[in-house]
Amino acid sequence: MSRTVKRAFKYRFYPTDVQAAQLSRTFGCVRLVYNMALAARTEAWAQRRERVGYNATSALLTGWKKTEELAFLNEVSSVPLQQVLRHLQTAFGNFWAKRARHPHFKSRKRSRRSAEYTTSAFRWRDGRLTLAKMTEPLDIVWSRPLPDGVSPSTVTVSCDAAGRWFVSLLCDDTITQTPATGQVGIDAGIDSLLTLSTGEKITNPRHEHAYHKRLARAQRDLARKQKGSANRAKARFKVARIHARIADRRRDHLHKLTTRLVRENQAIVIEDLTVRNMVKNHRLARAISDAAWRQLRTMLEYKTAWHGRDLIVVDRWFPSSKLCSACGALAERMPLNVREWTCQCGSTHDRDVNAARNILAAGLAVTACGDDVRPQRESSRTGQSSAKQEDPRATKGIPVL
């Protein structure tokens, strides 16, 4: 069985000086148009309670191009400018639907430098990509081939803080869905990145920790440089390159790990962790951020959708660590320093393995019995449900993706 999905293939490329200048100019125009459109929409709502849509901002863009102050917007391709207005429309749609916060202005120093081109703004011939307003194709390093017989529908060009240029090609890709019979529960941690219900523990590589001394030295050098100087710019690139290497290694490890889990298992059960709140603990914030649990979940979400797998998310208040996976008894307390414990039934548990087994059992209870999917937070916090229910695992809210 196969399935056609939209998939982005990202490659590094090396622009010429002319191409780099043109793309940098495009990035600046994209950021400017986004900020001006956001200001116009915000002002319209604040003063007149009027919701300005994409068509209105597109008309504003046409007017801006005709002014003397903003005539330079005509020097770049119009497609990335229109695309950023569509992105702003999507951001406001998510905001009004309460799925995201209010859009914020793009910063010249901190925002991602990127531009999106649709089919009308690039030429794809014989594996060579030429963008609008350019005469030469991009010098792309083809680290892996594109699927046979496909052509990109959207091209996104970006430049990261380390000065590396990337092009992302969105294509239709056919994925063969192979059958799998495995079922696994996953407990995320810091000492062990993941603990599986099978008893396997996957070591946390701690990528940031491995580069901690080198990064600290580079940051100290950056702090000593005078602001605005050329030496400060060089030191900033040095820090950015270290961060980029950490992020690349972390992403590569997570891709390999999630691909293996998805290929081996039909059902994957995880916890609904609130990483944004967990990093408020200043003692664990660095380790939690280095573990990248949110990125891990995102990869599992789209890969399970590609391969026809089931991803089940257990409610965050489910007491997986305090619950005995053998008899279902709920312990009163379970401090973080307790890594092994013995239940009143005589079963001795490894804290993480026991939690993974409980997560798996709770997730399968939903798919098999249609258990309650609404969180019952008070009972799960106090543990009172163990006295009212035969099995506490059947009382917790477990939303299914």
Q: Which of 187, 208, 315, 371 is catalytic?
A: 187
Report the C-alpha gap between 87 and 10 in whole angstroms: 20
Residue 300, judged by CB atoms within 10 A of its CB (0-12, 13-18, 19+), counts as buried
Number of H helices, E strands in the chain: 11, 14
Instruction: Judge whether 352 counts as a catalytic residue.
Output: yes
pLDDT tens figures, 289-334: 999 999 999 999 999 999 999 999 998 888 888 888 888 888 888 8
Report the C-alpha gap between 199 and 287 in whole angstroms: 23
The CA R_g of the chain, rounded to the nearest whole Å, is 25
Structure tokens at 27: 């990035």
Q: Please give the share of the chain, as a percent, with pLDDT higher than 90.
A: 69
Judge whether residue 14 has pLDDT over 60: yes
Q: Which of 271, 290, 315, 371 is catalytic?
A: 271
Q: Please give the share of the chain, as a percent, with pLDDT higher than 70.
A: 92
Confidence of residue 71 (pLDDT cuts 50, 70, 90): very high
Q: Bigger pLDDT: 176 or 86? A: 86
Q: Which of 208, 290, 315, 352 is catalytic?
A: 352
CB atoms within 10 A of CB 85: 23
Confidence of residue 370 (pLDDT cuts 50, 70, 90): low
Report the C-alpha gap between 277 and 396 in whole angstroms: 21
- Cβ atoms of 13 and 166 within 8 Å: the answer is yes
Q: What is the pTM of this model?
A: 0.84
Judge whether residue 84 has pLDDT over 60: yes
Q: Which domains does the chain have, with CATH numbers?
A: 2-176 (no CATH), 182-206+248-395 (3.30.420)
Distances (CA, A) of 201 to 130, 193, 213, 228, 316: 47, 8, 27, 48, 21
Nearest of 311, 345, 307 to residue 328 by alpha carbon: 345
Instruction: Judge whether 271 counts as a catalytic residue.
Output: yes
Show the DSSP H helices in 133-229 as ranges: 207-210, 212-224
Show the DSSP H helices in 49-143 as ranges: 54-66, 78-96
Report the C-alpha gap between 121 and 343 in whole angstroms: 65
Average pLDDT over residues 87-98: 95
Instruction: Judge whether 350 counts as a catalytic residue.
Output: no
Judge whether residue 40 has pLDDT over 70: yes
pLDDT value for 383: 38
